[in-house]
Amino acid sequence: MTTLTEAPPPLAPAASEPKPQRRRGRWTPYWLLLPGILWLLVFFALPMIYQASTSVQTGSLEEGYKVTWHFATYWDALSEYWPQFLRSVAYAAAATVLCLVLGYPLAYLIAFRAGRWRNLIMILVIAPFFTSFLIRTLAWKTILADGGPVVGALNTLHVLDVTNWLGWTAGDRVLATPLAVVCGLTYNFLPFMILPLYTSLERIDGRLHEAAGDLYARPVTTFRKVTFPLSMPGVVSGTLLTFIPAAGDYVNAELLGSTDTRMIGNVIQTQFLRILDYPTAAALSFILMAAILLMVTFYIRGSGTEDLV
């Protein structure tokens, strides 16, 4: 007699376990997709085409616009607003890095160290969402107010001297400086970093830490060689979820910044809603979209987590 195997039976190969598919259900997926996809095509994809078309139109509000393939709009827009573009990328990048540095410990804390406090901390991370982010951003005006305790403390600790030297702040003010805008961006998009980080950290088997320790890895090495690599999917999606909206944001720059901290979102908003120069606004928005898609694509390729999407 052969010995009985104690292990569960090997899984049947994929071919013997297909999804039930009946002839008459062939059209079902298309019916299910139809309304939602149609919605996205009409109100997401089609607008992109309209926008592309608008960006190469010329004319005026009074006489109407016509497609004249006037690509010079792109050139003009770029040459006029490249500082805002660069500033957007720089601020968004700074906010993303700050979010990662600040968010990782908290995500780690929730995933491995919080114990029975885990749910409570999760709630506290999510609940601020329900207070309008505009109200919360306005609160930073109070926190960073001139002569307030925070600015006073930074002044006493000579932190402001350093940031002044770096050009992040000006004088003894924090409000209306790049620092305030980056601080606001970081604050606003921090939960978008923490949640994906937490999700991927939580999936890590705690025994891996023990195994690493057993194999002579000190805690720092364990983190560097085991925990962090395994949390990469969370890091990638977290940084994307932070960087993309931050790069297009104009609320923080408007509420916490000054005219010197205007980001590309501010320009698009002004062009579109106040100056009503639609071709320029459309071109700017198109460039922003292209730049972000390009960066995202390279980033995902580079980090080797293409299955993320």
Partner 1 sequence: MPFVNWLKRHLVVIAGLLTLAYLLLPNVVVTVFSFNKPKGRFNYEWQQFSTDAWKDPCGVADLCGSLSISLQIAFWATLGATLLGTLIAFALVRYRFRARGAVNSLIFLPMAMPEVVMAASLLTLFLNLGAQLGFWTILIAHIMFCLSFVVTAVKARVMSMDPRLEQAAQDLYAGPVQTFLRVTLPIAAPGIAAGALLAFALSFDDFIITNFNAGSTVTFPMFVWGSAQRGTPVQINVIGTAMFLLAVLFVLTSMVVGSRRSRKTS
Partner 2 sequence: MKTTSSGGDVRLTGISKTYGSFTAVHPLDLTVPQGSFFALLGASGCGKTTTLRMIAGLEEPSSGTVHLGEQDVTALPPYKRPVNTVFQSYALFPHLDIFENVAFGLRRRGIRSVKKQVEDMLELVQLGEQARKKPHQLSGGQQQRVAVARALINHPKVLLLDEPLGALDLKLRRQMQLELKRIQTEVGITFVHVTHDQEEAMTMADTIAVMNAGRVEQLGSPTDLYENPRTTFVANFLGTSNFIEAEIDSKSGDEIVLKAGGGKLVLSEARCGAPAPTGGRVLVGVRPEKISLTHADDAGEIPEGRNRITGKIADSSFIGVSTQYVVDSPVCSDFEVYAQNIDRDPRLVPGAEVVLHWNPAHTFGLDASQDAEAGVEEAA
Residues lying near partner 2 in the complex (CB under 8 A) are found at 1-2, 4-6, 8-13, 15-18, 20, 22-23
Is 245 a binding residue for partner 1 by CB under 8 A? The answer is: yes
| Contact flag: residue 212 with partner 1 (CB under 8 A) | no
Residue 78 makes contact with partner 1 by CB under 8 A: no
Residue 95 engages partner 1 in binding (rule: CB under 8 A): no
> Which tokens in the block code for residue 27?
């059209």
Minimum gap (Å) between residue 2 Cβ and partner 1: 29
Rounded to a whole number of angstroms, the minimum distance from the CB of residue 7 to partner 2 is: 10
Q: Are 288 and 87 in contact (CB under 8 A)?
A: no
Q: Which does 233 bind (CB under 5 to 8 A by kind): partner 2, partner 1, none?
A: none
**Is the CB of 15 or the CB of 273 nearer to partner 2?**
15
Nearest approach in angstroms of CB 19 to partner 2 is 10
Q: Which does 269 bind (CB under 5 to 8 A by kind): partner 1, partner 2, none?
A: partner 1
* Contact between 75 and partner 1 per CB under 8 A: no
State which of positions 172-211 bind partner 1 (CB under 8 A): 187, 190-191
Q: Which is nearer to partner 2, 3 or 259 (CB)?
A: 3
Candidates 2, 3, 21, 156; binder of partner 1 (CB under 8 A) is: 21
36 binds partner 1 (CB under 8 A): yes
Contact 252, 188 (CB under 8 A): yes
Q: What amino acid is encoded at 271 in this protein?
A: Q
In the list 33, 166, 215, 275, the residue contacting partner 1 (rule: CB under 8 A) is: 33
Provide, rounded to whole angstroms, the least separation between the CB of residue 188 and partner 1. Answer: 10
State the binding partner of 16 from partner 1, partner 2, none, CB within 5 to 8 A by kind.
partner 2
Touching partner 1, residues 107-136 (CB under 8 A)? 107-110, 113, 119, 121, 123-136
For partner 2, give the closer residue by CB, 10 or 206: 10
Helix axes 178-202, 232-248, angle to 10 degrees: 150
Q: Which is nearer to partner 1, 134 or 166 (CB)?
A: 134
- DSSP letter string, the chain: -PPPP-SPPPPPPGGGSPPP--GGGTTHHHHHHHHHHHHHIIIIIHHHHHHHHHHTEEEETTTEEEE---THHHHHHHHHHHHHHHHHHHHHHHHHHHHHHHHHHHHHIIIII-GGGHHHHHHHHHGGGGS-HHHHHHHHHHHT-TTSHHHHHHHHTTHHHHHHHHTSSBTTB-TTSHHHHHHHHHHHHHHHHHHHHHHHHHTS-HHHHHHHHHTT--HHHHIIIIIHHHTHHHHHHHHHHHHHHHHH--HHHHHH--GGG--HHHHHHHIIIII--HHHHHHHHHHHHHHHHHHHHHHHHHHT-GGG-
Residue 12 is a binding residue for partner 1 (CB under 8 A): no
Binding track over 263-292 against partner 1, x by CB under 8 A: --x--xx--xx----x--xx--xx-xx--x
Task: Tell me how far, at minimum, the Cβ of 28 lies from partner 2, in Å.
Answer: 14
